[in-house]
């Protein structure tokens, strides 16, 4: 890549600064290798986490719009392409759907702008890290940067819901038969485990009210991946990661599974790049993925 890295405005969101630090740090380390810099917005707020499904109250759009304004100002000031990079799937979904809503209905934008100090012009395009790798970097180029032999890794790509749905608003991939994570893992040289539960819901925020249901749904997904021969799952969503990983603490429900590590896709990318993973918080996972890394011959911490 060119010697001067491309800088892209980046919105982290709350979870990325707390429970998913390993996701952000691994993504930033990998970006450095690939040749771009995730340039965090200086002033940002929570996006609201879930996009309001009803249309009678636009207050839920003020928080994401405030973020889009900040990104728009930054891009205009620096005269760069109006893109905003995201990692967290909930943030991506909320910001992307807000972008779509304003694109469809300028009146909505005017109404929301009336509540904001700074007015949003509607120029920002929200991009997920995975989308950037596919569309701007290219998975074939990514494959050339891989340093570690990943062929022993049997990895199931787990998509969940909000990375893909609703398709007409997000438009990243087919919500029933997606390939983007498959192709990403292919580029890394992993053995990709295609499994039926790849787009099934993990239970999401229901963990607040019905954790036993989340545990059951998580079990079904992990057992399915296990049956198809996966040793680990990758995801882009911190809530999927948390639900699938933490649920395995329920020893009764998970009695017949050995403990399946659930990784952020960037954590595996860092391993493929041969990076030092010490700051990627692998030790924070309920099911520690490090023994799997060692068994597959990529003890990346020693490099």
Partner 1 sequence: MLINPVEKDQKRIRELELATGETISDCYQCGKCTAGCPASMDTPPSVIIQYLKLGQFDMAKNAESIWSCMACLTCSERCPKNVSPAAIIEGLKNLHLRDMDPRVSLEAMDRDFLAHSPQMAIISGFRKFI
Contact positions vs partner 1 (CB under 8 A): 13-15, 18-20, 46, 48-50, 52-56, 60, 88, 90-91, 161-162, 165-167, 175-176, 200-201, 203-211, 213, 217, 238-239, 241-242, 246
> Least separation, in Å, of the C-beta of 84 and partner 1?
18
Q: Measured from the CB atom, is 246 or 248 closer to partner 1?
A: 246
Q: Measured from the CB atom, is 52 or 189 closer to partner 1?
A: 52
> Least separation, in Å, of the C-beta of 190 and partner 1?
25
> Least separation, in Å, of the C-beta of 247 and partner 1?
12
The CA distance from 193 to 226, in Å, is: 9
> Least separation, in Å, of the C-beta of 205 and partner 1?
4
Q: Measured from the CB atom, is 55 or 302 closer to partner 1?
A: 55
Q: Measured from the CB atom, is 110 or 210 closer to partner 1?
A: 210
Within 10 angstroms of residue 35's Cβ, the number of other Cβ atoms is 15
The CA distance from 261 to 50, in Å, is: 26
The neighbouring-strand residues paired with 128 are 86
Letter string b/e over residues 140-167, b meaning 16 or more CB atoms within 10 A of that residue's CB? eebeebbebebeebbbbbbbbbbbbbee
Within 10 angstroms of residue 290's Cβ, the number of other Cβ atoms is 15
Query: Smallest Cα–Cα separation from 172: which of 202, 139, 129?
Result: 129
> Least separation, in Å, of the C-beta of 108 and partner 1?
12
The CA distance from 303 to 298, in Å, is: 9
Q: Measured from the CB atom, is 241 or 296 closer to partner 1?
A: 241
The CA distance from 296 to 239, in Å, is: 27
Cβ pair 143, 188 in contact under 8 A: yes
Query: Is residue 3 packed enough to be buried (19+ CB in 10 Å), middle (13-18) or exposed (0-12)?
Result: exposed
Q: Which tokens go with 271?
A: 């391993």
Q: Measured from the CB atom, is 31 or 161 closer to partner 1?
A: 161
> Least separation, in Å, of the C-beta of 276 and partner 1?
25
């Amino acid at each position: 890549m060119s010697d001067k890295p491309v800088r892209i405005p980046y919105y982290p969101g709350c979870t990325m600064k707390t429970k998913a630090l390993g996701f952000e740090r691994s993504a930033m380390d990998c970006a450095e290798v690939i040749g771009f810099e995730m340039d965090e917005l200086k002033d940002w707020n929570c996006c609201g986490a879930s996009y309001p499904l009803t249309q009678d109250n636009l207050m839920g759009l003020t928080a994401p719009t405030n973020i889009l304004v900040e990104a728009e100002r930054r891009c205009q000031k620096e005269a760069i392409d109006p893109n905003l990079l995201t990692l967290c799937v909930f943030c991506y979904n909320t910001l992307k759907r807000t972008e779509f809503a304003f694109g469809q209905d300028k009146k909505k934008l005017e109404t929301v702008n009336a509540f904001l100090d700074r007015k949003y012009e509607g120029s920002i395009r929200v991009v997920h890290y995975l989308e950037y790798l596919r569309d701007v970097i290219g998975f074939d180029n990514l494959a050339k940067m891989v340093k570690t032999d990943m062929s022993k890794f049997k990895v199931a790509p787990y998509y969940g819901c909000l990375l893909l749905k609703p398709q007409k608003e997000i438009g990243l991939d087919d919500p029933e038969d997606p390939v983007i994570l498959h192709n990403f893992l292919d580029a890394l040289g992993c053995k990709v485990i295609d499994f039926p539960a790849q787009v099934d819901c993990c239970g999401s925020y229901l963990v607040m009210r019905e954790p036993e249901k989340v545990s059951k749904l998580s079990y079904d997904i992990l057992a399915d991946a296990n049956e198809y021969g996966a040793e680990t799952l990758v995801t882009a969503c911190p809530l999927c990661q948390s639900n699938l990983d933490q649920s395995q603490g329920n020893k009764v429900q998970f009695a017949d599974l050995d403990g399946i590590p659930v990784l952020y896709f960037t954590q595996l990318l860092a391993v493929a790049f041969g990076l030092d993973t010490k700051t990627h918080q692998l030790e924070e996972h309920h099911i520690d993925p490090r023994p799997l890394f060692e068994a597959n011959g990529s003890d990346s911490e020693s490099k």
